[in-house]
Structure 1
């Protein structure tokens, strides 16, 4: 089976929301999502799994519409920042204090986050033998799976572009292989 992992498109910045930051996509993000959907339109994707976070839901929407396939929201592929009071896109980070960096690394490499992500991916894989499915999720989720497949320290963050595609092949025996990483040529002409 093949997992087509799609990172969400460019979200808005939220400096503080006491109810938990859950940013929508920017105008650029909507264009990125539409371009990704056009690229994947001819791929044999049979189901789309989506993080519950708004930025992933909005990224998945044009893909689901284009493919006309069923979709399922999966809480286990939410980003580590679910429920945090702010969301700052990575490219807007200024210099980080040691405390900020420690908090970011702990969020990405914490046992609970890694276990949740890997268990959710295993469930998706096991439910779809021989099929191709997309998972629209987040950079930390993709990095966690890639680090696990490569057997590297999860603190080695594998950065992905907005709406990039990373392909993972998975066998029924439990073997996983990285088929491609950070495909994103459809973003070249977007501002």
Structure 2
């Protein structure tokens, strides 16, 4: 089974006082979601799953519409900041985050609506293992977040929990699952943002005929 993890497209910013932040995509993010659909609609996708956050759902809505598929929501694939009243794109935190960014640096997680890193890791990996065990298809798309992808990839490659890999907005990371084996196939594909595609050839076509060569 191939799991295609996608980081959401570029989102808007949101700074609330009375409710959890849940911004949708920016205009660039919407463009990225359309390019992603252009790219992935040629692959034999069986299921589309998304975190419950708008920025993730909106990233795969164009793909789901083209394929005539429903999007299944999975709360445990949401980001570490799932209960925060603030959302700033990652690249703006240091320059525009102010007290919010200082609270992150001070690890004051409860005060800003974050899970602890330990809680976050546990729930993300539980969702990943449930998906692996369900074997609900051969080619599954999961729209989620940079932190979620980092947790999964770190576990797959048996790296330290401190590992950090920059995943681009709408970047694609592929994981192959075969029994108890989990293999990282690709990391941060962004070809859909600068190229067109009319078909797929070779291994990326599907995971049914042949798996990755170890």
Tell me the TM-score normalized by structure 2.
0.81
Return the offset for 1:105. 9.3
Partner SS state of residue 44, structure 2: coil
Moved more, 3-12 or 155-164: 155-164
Asked if 1:180 is matched to 2:186, the reply is yes
Asked if 1:2 is matched to 2:6, the reply is no
Residue in 2 that maps onto 1:112: 119
Give the one of 102, 105, 115 matched to 1:101. Answer: 105
Structure 1 contact 109–154 (Cα < 8 Å) conserved: no
Matches within 5 A, 1:9-158: 9-94=9-94, 99-103=103-107, 110-128=117-135, 131-158=138-165
Return the offset for 1:154. 1.6
Report the CA distance shift for 1:188/1:17 in structure 2 as closer, same or farther (over 3 A): farther
Return the offset for 1:171. 1.1
Number of residue pairs matched?
Answer: 188
Partner SS state of residue 162, structure 1: coil
Instruction: Supply the RMSD in Å over aligned alpha carbons.
Output: 2.2
Return the offset for 1:123. 1.0
Structure 1 contact 165–181 (Cα < 8 Å) conserved: yes
Name structure 2 gaps, 5 residues minimum: 196-214
Structure 1 contact 6–134 (Cα < 8 Å) conserved: yes
Structure 2 contact 24–55 (Cα < 8 Å) conserved: yes
- What is the CA–CA distance in structure 2 between the aligned matches of 1:4 and 1:19, rounded to whole Å? 31
Structure 1 contact 3–135 (Cα < 8 Å) conserved: yes
Partner SS state of residue 161, structure 1: coil
Report the CA distance shift for 1:87/1:144 in structure 2 as closer, same or farther (over 3 A): same
Tell me the TM-score normalized by structure 1.
0.90
Name structure 1 gaps, 5 residues minimum: none
Return the offset for 1:129. 5.8
Structure 1 contact 47–69 (Cα < 8 Å) conserved: yes
